[in-house]
Structure 1
Amino acid sequence: MTASTVLYEPSKDGITTITINRPAVRNAVNHATSLKLAEAFQKFENDASQKVCIFTGAGTNFCAGYDLHEVAGNSTGEVAVGPVDKVNGAFGPMGPSRMQLSKPIIAAISGHAVAGGLELSLLADMRVVDTTAVFGVFCRRFGVPLIDGGTVRLPKVVGQGRALDMILTGRPVDAQEALAFGLANRVVPKGQAVEAARALARDLLGFPQKCMQADLVSAHYSAYDSPSLEDALRFEFARGALVVAEESVQGAKKFDKGAGRGGKFEKGKL
């Protein structure tokens, strides 16, 4: 039986792992895989029991981008952009790249995260990378543009100047440079990205979830949707006000009893 090209693994503790499973082609994504990826992320978003997603690739690479063998077989390029119009613009050629989820996504990256794979990594809110990780707009060499959010998300993450350096030159960016750019949030030894991402996910589970999700959604809105500072501030207040009575009062009571004094954290919990 042929293994699925996308593995969806929820867990009892609320951490879902989504894995691109095409290691023989460095997890390059074809049309069928893109649809499965989009379906997997939508499933995670809709499942209230799952709180944090780890996004990774099977084997030694995260994702080498769109499968250019499939693009080469279609002279019009229709295959490469098929998913976009078929679902009212909700999905991109790489699958979930046009989504903006309300729950944290942590990408666990080793090896190549290039071209469309770089764009998929930008769907994540945090990127934990091992020392083998390489980012880059490698599609620059072949005349394939960034159409999965690379020109939108990358400048928001690393700034316009650094983003244009990567976008225009297509050059490789290793783990340490990615960390300096802010593209990587953590660098860990070879082969430990998933384990480190899982530890980070467990830390996030220790916090009041509605409050964390409200702040995440507000940050997304400010970065991508808000037309003005005033609008972003209003949105932030409206989202935050909804959780104050439910979670903030209880948190304040814990502080009043001595928890978390002096900025103390214990494995993500007060």
Structure 2
Amino acid sequence: MPKLLIERRGNVTLFTLNRVEVHNNVDDELAMELADAIIAFGADEASNVLVITGAGDKTFCAGANLKGMRELFEHRHTHTAGPMGFARLDPGKPVIAAINGNCYAGGVELAVWCDFRIVDERAKFGLLNKRWGLSLADGGTQRLPRVVGIGNALYMIETGMEIDAQHALRMGLAQEVVPAGTALERSLQLAQHIADYSQGGIRADRQAALATIGLSLEQGLDLEAELCHSPALSEEAMAGMRRFADGSRPAPPRPGAANRQS
């Protein structure tokens, strides 16, 4: 049985971490499969959005395989992708985390590697590796502060606190909290919305947003102009403007009911 299940759903690709018996933790074999699959997705012109989830209904990913740490730091993708197979890679396209259950340690690092996170209301998050004195090695010290802010990141990193889905939503770690068992369905719904948009502008905006982190506003605006002005004048964009002029007003996706203020 493959440790990573890969499914094409039209122009959306779904990855499922398939080690349910060990809470979908990542060993060296899964890390290499994950790196290979991310690289292949990035090169696949027919697939526009990636969704990542975990097998079963209890755990998204419990992090790295603590019984095989040496192997994680010595496999063929360690230095090009990171020990767990993703930290140094960017497919250049949207990636959504469908957090179907608990998300711990390196699982949090995988979650924040994704562009945003749709979270099952039962899920819990925590850098529980602190209990064994283990540092973060797959981008957590860099991406977590960018997602939730330095105070929230250090709170999680230093305490090893376990938080619930609503706490994750308040701090920005979750973008939507959805009813039990529906995180994948909702993620695929959003993925299809994104995948059906014109892709040039989305990819340019995504690249500019990620690449300008840490730059001054002036530097960021310069890079945005370099990356985003040409797609705005592309034939793809012009076709979209013609649809607008002709009266096209497709309904946008909206947050699920669990995320609306009463």
Shift of 1:139: 0.1
Task: Indicate whether 1:234 and 2:222 are aligned.
Answer: yes
In the TM superposition, 1:230-269 aligns within 5 A as 230-246=218-234, 247-260=236-249, 265-267=250-252
For 1:196, what is the secondary structure of its paired residue? helix
Shift of 1:259: 3.0
In the TM superposition, 1:185-224 aligns within 5 A as 185-223=175-213
Of the three residues 138, 152, 160, the one matched with 1:148 is 138
In the TM superposition, 1:32-47 aligns within 5 A as 32-47=29-44
Look up the equivalent residue of 2:72 and give its one-letter code.
Answer: A
Look up the equivalent residue of 2:251 and give its one-letter code.
Answer: E
For 2:189, what is the secondary structure of its paired residue? helix
Q: Is the 1:27–1:63 contact (alpha carbons within 8 Å) kept by the matching residues of 2? A: yes
Aligned to 1:75: none
Q: Unaligned 5+ residue runs, structure 2?
A: 254-262
Aligned to 2:123: 133
Q: CA RMSD in A?
A: 1.6
**Within 2, Cα distance between the matches of 1:87 and 1:230?**
36
1:225-247 deviation line (CA, Å, top 9, x unaligned): x6433222112111112212223
Task: Indicate whether 1:101 and 2:86 are aligned.
Answer: no
- Describe the shift of the 1:215–1:155 C-alpha distance in structure 2 as closer, same or farther (beyond 3 A): same
Q: Say how many residue pairs are matched.
A: 251
Aligned to 2:52: 55
Task: Indicate whether 1:79 and 2:68 are aligned.
Answer: no
Q: Is the 2:95–2:114 contact (alpha carbons within 8 Å) kept by the matching residues of 1? A: yes
Look up the equivalent residue of 1:100 and give its one-letter code.
Answer: D
Q: Unaligned 5+ residue runs, structure 1?
A: 72-77
For 2:73, what is the secondary structure of its paired residue? helix
- Describe the shift of the 1:88–1:23 C-alpha distance in structure 2 as closer, same or farther (beyond 3 A): closer
1:31-69 deviation line (CA, Å, top 9, x unaligned): 111111111111111101000001001012110011112
For 2:74, what is the secondary structure of its paired residue? helix
**Within 2, Cα distance between the matches of 1:220 and 1:104?**
12
For 2:117, what is the secondary structure of its paired residue? strand
Of the three residues 18, 23, 33, the one matched with 1:21 is 18
- Describe the shift of the 1:219–1:201 C-alpha distance in structure 2 as closer, same or farther (beyond 3 A): same
Aligned to 2:259: none
Q: Is the 2:105–2:126 contact (alpha carbons within 8 Å) kept by the matching residues of 1? A: yes
Q: Is the 1:4–1:21 contact (alpha carbons within 8 Å) kept by the matching residues of 2? A: yes
TM superposition score normalised by structure 2: 0.91
Aligned to 2:3: 5
Q: Is the 1:112–1:134 contact (alpha carbons within 8 Å) kept by the matching residues of 2? A: yes
- Describe the shift of the 1:88–1:139 C-alpha distance in structure 2 as closer, same or farther (beyond 3 A): closer
**Within 2, Cα distance between the matches of 1:133 and 1:90?**
31
